[in-house]
């Protein structure tokens, strides 16, 4: 009972096996020359904001009456109008604004490199307030719960358990096209289901992903000890969890070495990143992208994350701090892609558990809600615009799931993910196998990318 | 009923050829035992008395019921038996965290004490249980800025670990540390805003009953369509959020008390009827508190409403099993523990001492005492601090705790600083590609798996801090005979169950040096860094 499944053995050996077939599938698809010239490279970078980002204060209506409506509901959490950073979405006639900390992102929006995908979240199918309140349509399980909504945002599996994420499934598809000698997906925020493929195995690190074993001098008894350590990792004990632990450690030993060797060929970056956890993760991503040729990867997916967004109390101060970091880190990362000469080939996007109630709570914070606004950044983004439908900001209004301003998403996570996946190279016919609810929506993709 | 369980005697059919050695060893260890001083009720056995259990059974039990066995505690358990050890531990005085005066970065003294208590404290079982509770009912120094709040919180868990779950739930609810962490402190029952839902949601979702109605065996109840049945709705959350209004922090003596008092962690939160919401409140299973209730009696009623929900036994029981014994307990095992939670045999619900006893003496916890009875899914990955503590104890470490927290940090388990209320790792994490739960695997990744091994390196070959010393003289003394050395390592670190192929591989490596110290170091390093050891089973 309870043995490791065939799949897990498959995925743990896939990289060596896939490397063999890689060359032939390349040739069949005519991809070899572009890849060999280094022109065929794309990276997707997911920035996950753990805790549930209150997007109601990330993007704020700026027109006078719209702002007044916002301010009257937000009360003590309303940002002063004269502190906001105005932006004008191209396809809309009314003005909006960004949080005062988003100075760099405001410029990127103005330059057409940043877009917002608004009121987007987990949806089985298009859902109205009446349908939700009367239980007429299926909705995602355990709404408003952190763990469940994080899981759903990372897997698109809304009512079933899934141990593979949509990032990992995109990696599966990419590996089936390009092959892979090294994991396509790297998480620098530890283990997250987003990164797990059905076949593809991610690298999941926190802190330094090139950390190696200490204490081996090269002496004969140290060599014997190292050989024993490696040998012990190969023993089947009949205990499933021992095998699982050995797989992780074996992969770690190999990955750290490969990554360290590749990074040693990098020339470093001039771009300055903020001295924050998120800044450090994005800097590491840029350094890895710099040595993409050494790793031999035409496609890479990265997962980075930051926490603290669960702002149940005293939200204004916390948001200043969180958004200052997000703005500086994302801006720096964009600058690094310019320095690397590939701003068109890297697309950065945000995800979060959910947004938060429009109505403040009694401790100057907000509670768990649903549909949220997300940011997409890169030179392949059709920027300066909003995608999706802005919600009606009214308590008990047509978009409110309850009476505290929990917006029912008007665009689905599946559409958002599918747009990114298609840009990345997943054939349109394969999108539904990764995004299971896509079939329930009229437009499968949102059109916020070029190419 | 509390199960009483007699551990199996080692069967003759066992493949372990070194049984004779263990018996010899155990006599020697019993002679050397010197650990009962701090446990006054400990029955002392006469020197030379036949051990009640083998060294192997004692060591394995200590892997589950302490931070890890060492020669002294193995001898102790051999002397008094498993039941005897439990009763000693239930009455051993609790280690108590020193209340710090400084704020800011000064969590270090607490983190150091955590490792000092774990390596040297006598209340091993209490520490394991209170730490397990701290990972089910989570606060974090990431938000709680005052170390006094964390120290008092841990002392409360230490105090309540062997009490009644109902007491624990009430203490947790009125703890200013929790009040600050999940915002019940100064949650105002005002008319113009919504009450804060944070504590209401998490006390239900994480601390007591979970999202789905459970059978007593811990599996979800399903409706006619095969879907899980939610335990509560958003309306219930809002009901509890209204109950949890009107409480503020205790005033510093000599200062004026008022609702909205600044966070003060010295003492339980205090009620202000005037800030308590006046409406009726929906609780679990359709129970409602009428309007205009009394803030204190309503709170008691709400806590009892949660405590009496049938989910609590299986929900909490299963998690405690996972922390102490195995990630994948059978439904029958969960049932037996939940039944004890529901009734300790004397009509009392929530008796944690009885629950702990039931968990540790259950046939499923004990079946691995005979390694041939072990199931392939048994056991659990030692979480980072457990791996550290067990290794520290196996080499008789004396430490002031300095620097150990940083090692734990790089393994994603910085003591008292959980990243979220969902703990360092969740109880339902499934190892990808398997049908097995492996909660601790959520933080076993490319970086942390290296960090574990490098911790072992620094402990055995390097320096943790200038006030951390290890004593491996017993291993060095045995190292002339590689077999003897490995017997000792196997008993102390792997309850005598080191597999033959592992043993052979390590023996080969040890043969590469004639230095007895290098041999002892290599034997401990290779064992402590192995998956076979990291995965306690």
pLDDT tens for each residue of A358-371: 999 999 999 999 99
Beta carbons of A245 and B449 less than 8 Å apart: yes
Given pLDDT bands bounded at 50, 70 and 90, which one contains residue A39? Answer: confident
Secondary element (H or E) of residue B504:
helix B500-510
Q: What is the pLDDT of residue B50?
A: 84
Given pLDDT bands bounded at 50, 70 and 90, which one contains residue A35? Answer: low
The number of domains in chain A is 1
Beta carbons of A249 and B194 less than 8 Å apart: no
* Res A328 pLDDT > 50: yes
Residue ranges making up the domain that contains A145: 38-210+265-440
Which residues in chain B touch residue A75, judged by CB atoms under 8 angstroms apart? 192-193
Closest CA of chain B from A19, distance in Å:
21
Q: Is B212 helix (H, G, I), strand (E, B) or coil?
A: strand
Beta carbons of A224 and B446 less than 8 Å apart: no
Q: What is the pLDDT of residue B145?
A: 87
* Res B478 pLDDT > 50: yes
Average confidence score pLDDT of chain B: 91
* Res A413 pLDDT > 80: yes
Chain A contact present for B461, CB below 8 A: yes
Q: Is B224 helix (H, G, I), strand (E, B) or coil?
A: coil
Cα gap A418→A442, rounded to integer Å:
13
Nearest to B196 among A8, A196, A313 (CB): A313
Nearest to A255 among B381, B446, B526 (CB): B446
What's the rounded mean pLDDT across residues A69-82? 97
Beta carbons of B450 and A256 less than 8 Å apart: yes
In this structure, is residue A31 part of a structural domain? no
Given pLDDT bands bounded at 50, 70 and 90, which one contains residue A239? Answer: confident
Nearest to A232 among B431, B432, B505 (CB): B505
Which residue in chain A is spatially nearest to B327 when comparing CA positions? A241
Interface of B with A in 274-303 (CB under 8 A): none
Chain A contact present for B15, CB below 8 A: no
* Res A344 pLDDT > 90: yes
Q: How many CB pairs under 8 A join A and B?
A: 253
* Res A6 pLDDT > 80: no
Q: What is the pLDDT of residue B102?
A: 62
Chain A contact present for B442, CB below 8 A: yes
Closest CA of chain B from A284, distance in Å:
14
* Res A25 pLDDT > 50: no
* Res A33 pLDDT > 70: no
Nearest to A145 among B211, B327, B377 (CB): B211
Q: What is the pLDDT of residue A110?
A: 98
* Res A285 pLDDT > 80: yes
Percent of chain A with pLDDT over 70: 92
* Res B5 pLDDT > 90: no
Chain B contact present for A206, CB below 8 A: yes
Chain B contact present for A75, CB below 8 A: yes
- Looking at per-residue pLDDT, the higher value among B106 and A316 belongs to A316
Interface of B with A in 375-414 (CB under 8 A): 375-381, 410, 412
Q: What is the pLDDT of residue A161?
A: 87
* Res B32 pLDDT > 80: no
CATH of the domain at A300: 3.40.720
In this structure, is residue A247 part of a structural domain? no
In this structure, is residue A318 part of a structural domain? yes
Closest CA of chain A from B33, distance in Å:
32
Token duo for residue B392: 């520290």
Q: What is the pLDDT of residue A78?
A: 98
Beta carbons of B446 and A203 less than 8 Å apart: yes
* Res B286 pLDDT > 50: yes
* Res A5 pLDDT > 60: no
HEC readout, chain A: CCCCCHHHHHHHHHHHHHHHHHHHHHHHHCCHHHHHCCCCCEEEEEEEECCCCCHHHCEEECCHHHHHHHHHHHHHHCCCHHHCEEECCCCCCCCEEECCCCHHHHHHHHCCCEEEEEEEECCCCCCCHHHHHCCCCCCCCCCCCHHHHHHHHHHCCCCCCCCCCHHHHHHHHHHHHHCCCCCCEEECECCCHHHCCCCCCCEECECCCCCCCCCCCCCHHHHHHHHHHHHHCCCCCCCHHHHHHHHHHHHHHHHHHHHHHHHCCCCCCCCCCCCCHHHHHHHHHHHHHHCHHHHCCCEEEEEEEECCCCCCCCHHHHHHHHHHHHHHHHHHHHHHHHHCCCCCCEEEEEEECCCECCCCECCCCCCECCCEEEEEECCCECCCEEECCCCCCCCCCCCECCCCCCECCCEEHHHHHHHHHHHHCCCHHHHHHHCCCHHHCCCCCCCCECC
Q: What is the pLDDT of residue B101?
A: 73
Q: What is the pLDDT of residue B316?
A: 98
In this structure, is residue A84 part of a structural domain? yes
Cα gap A264→A243, rounded to integer Å:
32
Q: Which of A8, A77, A4 is nearest to A238 (CA)?
A: A4
Cα gap B168→B118, rounded to integer Å:
22
Chain B contact present for A363, CB below 8 A: yes
pLDDT digits (tens, 9 = 90+) for B232-280: 999 999 999 999 999 999 999 999 999 999 999 999 999 999 999 999 9
Nearest to B183 among A7, A205, A365 (CB): A365
Beta carbons of A142 and B211 less than 8 Å apart: yes
What's the rounded mean pLDDT across residues B126-133? 98
Nearest to A146 among B422, B501, B502 (CB): B422
Beta carbons of A213 and B505 less than 8 Å apart: no
Q: What is the pLDDT of residue B19?
A: 36
Q: Is B519 helix (H, G, I), strand (E, B) or coil?
A: helix
Q: What is the pLDDT of residue B14?
A: 35
Chain B contact present for A214, CB below 8 A: yes
For testing contact with chain B, the best of A167, A362, A370, A403 (most B CBs within 10 A): A362
pLDDT digits (tens, 9 = 90+) for B363-380: 999 999 999 999 999 999
Nearest to B512 among A145, A220, A248 (CB): A220
Interface of A with B in 104-163 (CB under 8 A): 141-148, 159, 161, 163
What's the rounded mean pLDDT across residues A373-382? 98
Q: What is the pLDDT of residue B105?
A: 59
Closest CA of chain B from A24, distance in Å:
28
* Res A28 pLDDT > 70: no
Cα gap B351→B1, rounded to integer Å:
11
* Res B158 pLDDT > 50: yes
For testing contact with chain B, the best of A183, A228, A234, A257 (most B CBs within 10 A): A228
Which residues in chain B touch residue A231, judged by CB atoms under 8 angstroms apart? 505
HEC readout, B47-63: CCCCCCCCHHHHHHHHH
CB A342 within 8 A of CB A291: no
In this structure, is residue A445 part of a structural domain? no
- For chain B, give the longest Cα–Cα distance: 81
Chain A contact present for B259, CB below 8 A: no
Q: What is the pLDDT of residue B489?
A: 98
Q: What is the pLDDT of residue B30?
A: 34
* Res B319 pLDDT > 60: yes
Nearest to A240 among B237, B376, B457 (CB): B376
Which residues in chain B touch residue A304, judged by CB atoms under 8 angstroms apart? none
Given pLDDT bands bounded at 50, 70 and 90, which one contains residue B191? Answer: low
For the ranges A94-98, A119-123, B4-8, B488-492, the lowest mean pLDDT is seen at: B4-8
Chain B contact present for A8, CB below 8 A: yes
Beta carbons of A4 and B377 less than 8 Å apart: no
Nearest to A367 among B197, B433, B454 (CB): B197
Cα gap A258→B264, rounded to integer Å:
51
Q: What is the pLDDT of residue A274?
A: 98
Closest CA of chain A from B523, distance in Å:
9
Q: What is the pLDDT of residue A38?
A: 58
Chain B contact present for A254, CB below 8 A: no
For the ranges A172-181, B86-95, B185-194, B347-356, the lowest mean pLDDT is seen at: B185-194
Beta carbons of B512 and A224 less than 8 Å apart: yes
- The label of the residue with tokens 């950044």 reads A377
What's the rounded mean pLDDT across residues A326-347? 98
Q: Which of B487, B511, B516, B536 is nearest to B17 (CA)?
A: B487
For testing contact with chain B, the best of A202, A208, A230, A232 (most B CBs within 10 A): A232
Given pLDDT bands bounded at 50, 70 and 90, which one contains residue B227? Answer: very high
Nearest to B526 among A4, A232, A244 (CB): A232
Chain A contact present for B446, CB below 8 A: yes
Which residues in chain B touch residue A147, judged by CB atoms under 8 angstroms apart? 422, 426
Given pLDDT bands bounded at 50, 70 and 90, which one contains residue A48? Answer: very high
Closest CA of chain A from B103, distance in Å:
19
Given pLDDT bands bounded at 50, 70 and 90, which one contains residue A75? Answer: very high
pLDDT digits (tens, 9 = 90+) for B98-107: 998 765 557 9
In this structure, is residue A158 part of a structural domain? yes
Given pLDDT bands bounded at 50, 70 and 90, which one contains residue B315? Answer: very high
For the ranges A61-70, A228-237, B315-324, B390-399, the lowest mean pLDDT is seen at: A228-237
């Amino acid at each position: 009972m309870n043995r490791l499944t065939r799949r897990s053995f498959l995925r743990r050996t896939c990289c060596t096996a896939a490397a063999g077939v890689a060359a032939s599938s390349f040739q069949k698809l005519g991809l070899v020359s572009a890849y060999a010239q280094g022109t065929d490279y794309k990276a997707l970078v997911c920035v996950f904001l753990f805790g549930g980002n209150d997007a109601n204060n990330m993007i704020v209506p700026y027109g006078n009456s719209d702002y007044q409506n916002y301010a009257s509901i937000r009360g003590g959490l309303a940002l002063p109008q004269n502190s906001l950073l105005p932006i004008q979405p191209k396809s809309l006639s009314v003005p909006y604004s960004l949080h005062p900390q988003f100075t760099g992102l405001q410029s990127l929006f103005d330059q057409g490199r940043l877009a917002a995908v608004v009121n987007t979240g987990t949806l089985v199918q298009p859902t109205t307030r009446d349908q939700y309140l009367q239980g007429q349509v299926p909705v995602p399980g355990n709404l408003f719960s952190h763990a469940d909504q994080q899981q759903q945002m990372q897997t698109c599996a809304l009512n079933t358990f899934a141990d593979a994420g949509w990032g990992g499934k995109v990696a599966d598809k990419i590996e089936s096209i390009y092959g892979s000698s090294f994991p396509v997906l790297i998480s620098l925020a530890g283990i997250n289901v987003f990164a797990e493929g059905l076949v593809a195995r991610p690298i999941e690190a926190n802190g330094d992903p090139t950390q190696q074993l200490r204490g081996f001098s090269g002496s004969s008894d140290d060599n014997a000890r190292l050989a024993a350590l490696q040998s012990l990792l190969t023993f089947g004990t009949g205990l499933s969890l021992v095998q699982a632990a050995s797989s992780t450690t074996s992969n770690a030993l190999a990955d750290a070495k490969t990554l360290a060797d590749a990074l040693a060929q990098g020339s470093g970056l001039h771009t300055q990143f903020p001295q924050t956890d998120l800044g450090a993760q994005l800097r590491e991503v840029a350094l890895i992208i710099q040595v993409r040729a050494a790793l031999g990867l035409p496609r890479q997916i990265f997962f980075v994350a930051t926490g603290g967004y669960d702002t149940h109390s005293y939200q204004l101060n916390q948001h200043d701090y969180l958004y200052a970091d997000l703005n500086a880190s994302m801006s720096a990362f964009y600058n690094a892609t310019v320095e690397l000469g590939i701003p068109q080939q890297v697309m950065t996007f945000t995800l979060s558990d959910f947004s938060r109630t429009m109505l403040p709570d009694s401790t100057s914070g907000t509670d768990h809600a649903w549909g949220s606004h997300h940011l997409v950044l890169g030179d392949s983004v059709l920027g300066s615009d909003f995608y999706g439908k802005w919600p009606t900001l009214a308590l008990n209004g047509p978009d409110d799931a309850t009476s505290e301003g929990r917006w029912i998403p008007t665009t689905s996570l599946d559409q958002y993910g599918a747009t990114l996946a298609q840009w990345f190279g997943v054939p349109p016919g394969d999108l539904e196998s990764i995004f299971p609810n896509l079939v329930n929506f009229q437009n499968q993709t949102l059109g916020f990318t070029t190419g | 009923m509390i199960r009483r369980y007699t551990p199996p005697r080692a069967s003759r059919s066992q493949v372990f050829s070194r049984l004779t050695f263990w018996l010899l060893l155990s006599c020697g260890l019993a002679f050397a035992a010197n650990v009962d001083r701090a446990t006054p009720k400990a029955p002392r056995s006469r020197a030379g008395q036949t051990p009640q259990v083998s060294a192997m059974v004692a060591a394995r039990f200590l892997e589950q019921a302490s931070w890890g066995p060492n020669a002294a505690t193995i001898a102790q358990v051999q002397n008094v038996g498993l039941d005897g050890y439990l009763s000693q531990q239930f009455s051993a005085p609790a280690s108590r965290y020193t209340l710090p005066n400084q704020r800011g970065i000064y969590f270090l003294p607490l983190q150091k004490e955590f490792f000092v208590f774990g390596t040297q404290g006598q209340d091993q079982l209490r520490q394991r249980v209170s730490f397990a509770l701290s990972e089910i009912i989570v606060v974090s120094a990431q938000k709680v800025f005052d170390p006094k709040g964390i120290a008092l919180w841990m002392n409360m868990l230490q105090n309540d670990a062997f009490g009644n779950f109902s007491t624990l739930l009430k203490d947790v609810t009125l703890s200013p540390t929790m009040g600050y962490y999940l915002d019940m402190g100064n949650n105002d029952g005002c008319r113009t805003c919504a009450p804060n839902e944070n504590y209401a949601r998490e006390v239900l979702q994480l601390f007591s009953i979970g999202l789905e109605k459970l059978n007593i065996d811990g599996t979800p109840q399903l409706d006619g369509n095969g879907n899980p049945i939610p335990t509560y709705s958003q309306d219930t959350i809002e009901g509890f959020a209204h109950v949890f209004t009107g409480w503020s922090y205790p005033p510093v003596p000599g200062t004026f008390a008022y609702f909205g008092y600044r966070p003060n962690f010295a003492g339980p939160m205090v009620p202000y009827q005037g800030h308590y919401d006046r409406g009726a409140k929906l609780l679990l299973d359709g129970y409602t508190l009428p309007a205009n209730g009394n803030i204190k009696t309503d709170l008691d009623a709400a806590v009892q409403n949660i405590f009496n929900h049938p989910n609590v036994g299986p929900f909490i029981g299963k998690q405690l099993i996972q922390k102490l014994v195995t990630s994948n307990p059978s439904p029958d095992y969960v049932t037996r523990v939940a039944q004890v939670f529901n009734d300790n045999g004397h009509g009392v619900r929530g008796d944690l001492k009885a629950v702990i006893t039931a968990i540790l003496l259950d046939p499923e916890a004990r079946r691995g005492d005979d390694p041939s009875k072990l199931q392939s899914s048994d056991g659990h990955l030692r979480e980072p601090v457990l791996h550290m503590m067990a290794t520290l104890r196996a080499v008789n470490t004396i430490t002031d705790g300095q620097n150990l927290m940083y090692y734990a940090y790089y393994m994603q388990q910085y003591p008292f600083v959980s990243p979220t209320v969902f703990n360092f790792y969740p109880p339902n994490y499934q190892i990808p590609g398997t049908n097995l739960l492996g909660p601790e695997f959520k933080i076993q990744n490319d970086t942390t798996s290296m960090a574990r091994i490098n911790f072992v390196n620094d402990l055995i070959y390097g320096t943790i801090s200038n006030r951390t010393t290890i004593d491996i003289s017993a291993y060095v003394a045995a190292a002339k005979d590689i077999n003897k050395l490995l017997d000792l390592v196997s008993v102390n670190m792997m309850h005598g169950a080191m597999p033959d192929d592992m043993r052979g591989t390590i023996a080969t490596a040890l043969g590469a040096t004639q230095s007895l110290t290098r041999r002892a170091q290599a034997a401990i390093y290779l064992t402590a860094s192995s998956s076979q050891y990291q995965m306690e089973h």
